Structure 1
């Protein structure tokens, strides 16, 4: 699918490091005839945006994808190899792809050929260094140690082509240097289509939070410097907050969160950078079809996430007597408004419709049917969604700030009031009280996040709750579990809505049956969803009821000694004898 971001694509895609880093990008621009004008610099750097996440096409699920957030938040009819613990060691690919880096490094090595003034060239060099920082921070997050290349390689550079991986610590220090250059030289205006100083600060807050928490919660890798990276994250976020350039988008509390993600053009008050699509130009993505059709895995929110949404008064849903056996209509009442702006709840209507619709079990395996990013029914056809997809959002920066400060032990109530409070204010939720949270940590979250501890435990868990709810479907779930060392949650049985057994169910409280779970003789009931027990739906205790179980008979496993890093492809290990496989992937 052609993206609006780029009008010139430079560079080619290759599978392995040794096949990529010695190639010259296939374009009209070469060191001898290119980079002579500012327009040529601009055209080249636009090619970097083509590989920006989220991957709205769903083609590359190695790292980030709107359709690939299946770690613990969103459940599909099938399980990924990462969830079953049967992740294969790839022969090639598997994310070990250096073509994007080659494209960036080629620019960095040649941008001065035109002998333009640095007042012109540095802003484009800053874009290149932004994307190199993004590339390497992602590679480190997935593979750990990786070879650092600061320039394009030639065929004769055998020492570099076939060198060992550089230490993670060296690579991440280089990444920080790149992003700091970008912050210093990028423009300061708002621009949802191009990276700016503010986007660079957001990226720094993101990858430094990952690196700081990964080093803190993974002592097995013997990495020092956790607090340094946490402080860098907090500082970058604070710089963005203090600038006053961005705010949290506000409108009516019962639609504001939904509207942020269904907007056809990015809401620039909050969105720093976005992928944009256009019905006029016939450039689309596929979210509507993904969430409404039965052929994309019938995605739905997982029960533990639904349970995590607070009551509207700020109290904990999981403290309510009988919460575990509460049926759909009742559990959706008086909750954090983001719940019914993320999934279909009682009274839900499509953006272009006037008819209230119950959850369609033909489109969700859990009963919690996704509506985040979902526009009107007119866009439900395959590949026909035109709304913008945020890549960097101010809300994430606020959460990065609060979490980094909590991990450092320097969080104050004032910090929460300039971060998490703004997200809760948007939807009319009470502010997070630090003292109250720390005096009474949520047992439901304590049982999930087994490595979190300390005097800030309560507020840290609340920030994680807020992050999971606010950023669901935006590609953070996998990395969050990996950096917190909570991979064991991938092996937990996925569950959906609760039903006491076979029978007729009114899901939206309008007095009419929306769903019948049956066994034996199929009911002859028109205009009602019919699910055969044991075939169309599996309940925990069979006819005696329980939560929906998804993929009940497929074992799930997560190896703590292995699965926090991805394996290197075997082809690369054969080509380069100095590369070593990640631990326990041999």
Structure 2
């Protein structure tokens, strides 16, 4: 059957068990379904499958000035980042389909769960809350990328799908915020004790109350609703009522397979068992992953990591040297990015030194090699040495406690309330955890709102790099037309057949971001061919 817009066919293929990291294995007919609690849980598990995947998660980094995809991988995000795309672009076309498939699955759960007789009321409310969270998350993603989109919470027909119009973005965001507030009490906290709303150890990875609150804060940040974001964050900061969250002692350990489900993680995408992802083959050096390195960091990201004394590299007294650019830098730089001289233990247990400068010997990982990183940098965060055949089961973190602290600091500053007390709770705590001990980096700087805004945004970038949030941040801050209209830069070189800027930094690609056109993606061509009522966004 031909693919339809806003997928409206019955969900007849569902998960066979409650675990969230297993592939679909069973077929069902609607008449034989919705008889037991396990049926409802299996249908809910199918919703989880469409929360996200690694191509969206990692590909989003290249939709910002943090990352660059060399070629058309990750569903052609490089065309979007470069401003050279149209409504037929693969990423935006598949994003639309992916999110509406998820919404259809969630609507199937909310519409049909009453057919299960004798279902425990607490379990029923939890299942409904999880489905509503996933649906709200899907609508948040759609509204963020496309603006006005079709909105419905029932099971629409083919005819309705071909005639439905788009609803206002703010109406949809109102719905998302309302849903996240309404479902909180039906969701368990993250204690896995089995005592809270039927939550048990085997249910790790399911949506919790903390996830609903943290996502609500993110929605309010997107809308510049600072006090509402503060109110949400305060429900999680030093407050165990809605979950027990804290910063891990080690920054790099947050992303290690041995430390999954740590209490800094609030909401993550589940992998492992029968579900794996192979993105690390695209972002690691060739000598480690034995594949071309296509998803790579930019020089602009590297430049934003501060010095150990708290100063930016261009600030007077920073101590930065272009001849020794990686010394005395924010420790999170080395935990996130491999640069010239970095070491890495490969899959065979051998320690490799990564050489990226032109003329290096061997040249396999240097900018000289066609299959190496064109910027001279590689992502290191999310490297999983335990992966079999490079296929990782490592969960991908969507929101963690550090993000809550950063949202809190940003919102407080926007209301001119970022003082020493808030600083110590947030920025100082993150920097101390990262390994800073110089007072210039850890003590409240006592500067004005604009200077603090720069500090908070830079801190957010360093802390959350390669976690898929930067693309949304630069759009909600309305700076995307500035930072995404700059060339993608790589390491500084001297001589050779490289295109460089005036200072000798490699230019890997020119980019363009037009305001207001590129702040919203166009409605996909395929969808408008099926439904003439959808209209189109400005400039498309």
- Name the TM-score, length of structure 1 as normaliser: 0.75
- Distance change (3 Å), C-alpha of 1:135 and 1:347: closer
Shift of 1:48: 1.3
2:206 maps to which residue? 194
Cα pair 1:162 1:577 within 8 Å, conserved: yes
1:415 maps to which residue? 422
Residue 424 of structure 1: SS of its match in structure 2? helix
Shift of 1:367: 2.0
2:174 maps to which residue? 173
Whole-Å separation in 2 of the counterparts to 1:134 and 1:312: 37
Shift of 1:399: 1.3
Cα pair 2:311 2:318 within 8 Å, conserved: no
Deviations 1:226-253 (A, max 9, x none): x3xx322222222112324011110xxx
Shift of 1:334: 0.9
- Distance change (3 Å), C-alpha of 1:313 and 1:353: farther
Residue 390 of structure 1: SS of its match in structure 2? strand
- Distance change (3 Å), C-alpha of 1:232 and 1:239: same
User: Equivalent residues in 2 for 1:214-363 (5 A)?
Assistant: 227=225, 230-244=226-240, 245-250=244-249, 256-278=250-272, 283-293=276-286, 295-320=291-316, 326-327=322-323, 330-344=324-338, 346=341, 348-350=343-345, 352-354=349-351, 356-359=353-356, 360-361=365-366, 362=369, 363=372
1:385 maps to which residue? 392
2:377 maps to which residue? 368
Alignment of 1:34 with 2:33, yes or no, is yes
Deviations 1:479-514 (A, max 9, x none): 111111112211101212223x24xxxxxxxxxxxx
Cα pair 1:273 1:393 within 8 Å, conserved: yes
Alignment of 1:436 with 2:397, yes or no, is no
User: Equivalent residues in 2 for 1:574-585 (5 A)?
Assistant: 574-585=529-540
Deviations 1:141-198 (A, max 9, x none): 0111122202111346x4x752321122221111112111221211113464111111
Shift of 1:297: 4.4
Which of 508, 518, 528 is residue 550 of structure 1 equivalent to?
508
Alignment of 1:147 with 2:150, yes or no, is yes
Shift of 1:320: 4.5
Whole-Å separation in 2 of the counterparts to 1:396 and 1:231: 17
Deviations 1:260-308 (A, max 9, x none): 2233451512122334544x76845331453222854444322222221
2:5 maps to which residue? 16
Residue 242 of structure 1: SS of its match in structure 2? coil
Cα pair 1:348 1:357 within 8 Å, conserved: yes
Cα pair 1:497 1:547 within 8 Å, conserved: yes
**Residue ranges of structure 1 left out of the alignment (5+ in a row):** 1-11, 213-226, 251-255, 439-455, 503-532
Alignment of 1:465 with 2:458, yes or no, is yes
Shift of 1:69: 2.8
**Residue ranges of structure 2 left out of the alignment (5+ in a row):** 14-26, 72-76, 193-203, 357-364
- Distance change (3 Å), C-alpha of 1:394 and 1:259: same
2:196 maps to which residue? none
Residue 248 of structure 2: SS of its match in structure 1? coil
2:82 maps to which residue? 84
Alignment of 1:104 with 2:102, yes or no, is no
Whole-Å separation in 1 of the counterparts to 2:2 and 2:276: 22
Whole-Å separation in 2 of the counterparts to 1:365 and 1:414: 43
Whole-Å separation in 2 of the counterparts to 1:322 and 1:243: 37
- Distance change (3 Å), C-alpha of 1:321 and 1:198: closer
Shift of 1:433: 4.9
Whole-Å separation in 2 of the counterparts to 1:388 and 1:95: 21
Report the structure number with the largest CA radius of gyration.
1
- Name the TM-score, length of structure 2 as normaliser: 0.81
Deviations 1:316-352 (A, max 9, x none): 221157988713xx11111111111122354624273
Shift of 1:14: 4.5
Alignment of 1:164 with 2:176, yes or no, is no
Cα pair 1:573 1:580 within 8 Å, conserved: yes
Alignment of 1:540 with 2:490, yes or no, is no
